Amino acid sequence: MLFVVPPSLQSQDWMALSSRVWAQVPQDPRPAPELLPHATGSNLGDACVVGTINPELYKFPGDKSETNFPEGCLGRLWFSVEYQQEVERLLVGLIKAQRLQAPSESCSPLVKLHLLPDERRFLQSKTRRRTSSPQFDEHFIFQVSSKSVTQRVLRFLVYHVDRQRKHQLLGQVLFPLKEILERDGQCIIWRDLEAESLEVQPPSEFGDLQFCLSYSDCLNLLTVVVLRAKGLWLQEDASFVSVFVKVSLINHNKFVKCKKTSAVLGSADPVYNETFSFRADPTELDTASLRLTVLQSVEGDKSHELGRVMVGPYMYTRGKELEHWNEMLSKPKELVRRWHELCHTTEP
């Protein structure tokens, strides 16, 4: 459902009343980017935070977006999007959320905004305490070229922040920017949250592997917990084969150390729950990576590779693998669990 900014407000601008508080004034000139307040606690690159939004200005009679919630709904998010082509800026207004499903009685949500496919940089809202229907009223700016805007996707990740300040993902919203380019001015949209998990999806082409990552900067330990795999393509009779996972620490494309799980006999969906730790100095985390290879034992001491996945910094990985690595670094001592699709390669 889309709502258009009233014409009477399209020529208005923002002026600062106090820190993080903005009011509208009827003038054309916009504040210079260097005068806008910036978000803290994240690497923003060419993105920043600005202003607030008044959702009451966009309501229409008969709007049922706040009443019709489907069964099993994880929550609903309202936001505004506008692309200023002349200055190549994307303006995003984070308005509110409702009926968030927190793991505890008290919900303290925050939202992280990514402009995919760039997953290294993000903008982050303030945390709203003790509410499952938070009112955010925050504005954000992304700098994005007009040539690439149609290929970009705006992603909202909604988290619950517990008493230990750990972030628990409640759901996500994906919004392809090509949907707004056919419209002029600002649009207000609402979307229901969806789960970000491979748990509910069928296995990928070569199967999937689930594992946890954790890093302790006090002990200089990089920990990997290999949990399980699913949908593996086994060769020969599955009742006579065994499958294991090899975990390799690599630095500057050179193998540092390898460790193996025990072999699970005759299963395309093996369960391991085995933990491995590697010594890694914090200064090495920009050049180190982990390769997890799923192997099937064959005759003698030989093995056949079923698939692999690599996680690490931007130098080596992209997408979910890079996001898993970055999330591990942002949550010291916490086990970060993810599913990953296995890829097939003929390399040794």
pLDDT digits (tens, 9 = 90+) for 179-238: 776 666 677 899 999 886 544 456 678 899 999 999 998 899 999 999 889 889 887 654
- State the pLDDT at residue 52: 53
* % of the chain surpassing 70 pLDDT: 73
* % of the chain surpassing 90 pLDDT: 41
48 pLDDT tier (thresholds 50, 70, 90): low
Q: What is the end-to-end Cα distance of the chain in Å, rounded?
A: 51
Spatial separation of the C-alpha atoms in residues 256 and 284, rounded to whole Å = 12
- pLDDT, tens digit, 9 for 90 and up, residues 282-315: 999 999 999 999 999 876 678 889 999 999 999 8
pLDDT surpassing 90 at residue 76: yes
- State the pLDDT at residue 79: 96
Higher-scoring residue by pLDDT: 3, 337: 337
Please compute the mean of the pLDDT values over residues 143-163 and round it to a whole number: 87
Q: Which region among 92-96, 154-158, 227-231 has the lowest average model confidence (pLDDT)?
A: 227-231
Q: Which range, 37-46, 75-84, 271-280, has the best average confidence (pLDDT)? A: 75-84
Please compute the mean of the pLDDT values over residues 60-77 and round it to a whole number: 72
Q: Which region among 56-60, 94-98, 208-212 has the lowest average model confidence (pLDDT)?
A: 56-60
Structure tokens at 30: 């916009």
Please compute the mean of the pLDDT values over residues 127-152 and round it to a whole number: 90
- State the pLDDT at residue 28: 39
- State the pLDDT at residue 33: 39
- State the pLDDT at residue 184: 63
Q: Do residues 191 and 95 make contact, with C-beta atoms less than 8 angstroms apart?
A: no
Please compute the mean of the pLDDT values over residues 115-139 and round it to a whole number: 89
Nearest to 234 by CA among 309, 321, 340, 342: 342
pLDDT surpassing 60 at residue 241: yes
Check residue 99 and report its DSSP letter. S
Spatial separation of the C-alpha atoms in residues 196 and 320, rounded to whole Å = 11
Cα of 291 vs its chain's centroid, Å: 21
Q: Do residues 207 and 233 make contact, with C-beta atoms less than 8 angstroms apart?
A: yes
- State the pLDDT at residue 47: 60
244 pLDDT tier (thresholds 50, 70, 90): very high
Q: Which range, 43-47, 63-67, 145-149, has the best average confidence (pLDDT)? A: 145-149
The 10 Å CB-count burial string (b at 16+, else e) for 199-225 is eeeebbebbbbbbbbbbeeeeeebbbb
- State the pLDDT at residue 65: 66
- State the pLDDT at residue 217: 86
Provide the whole-model pTM.
0.45
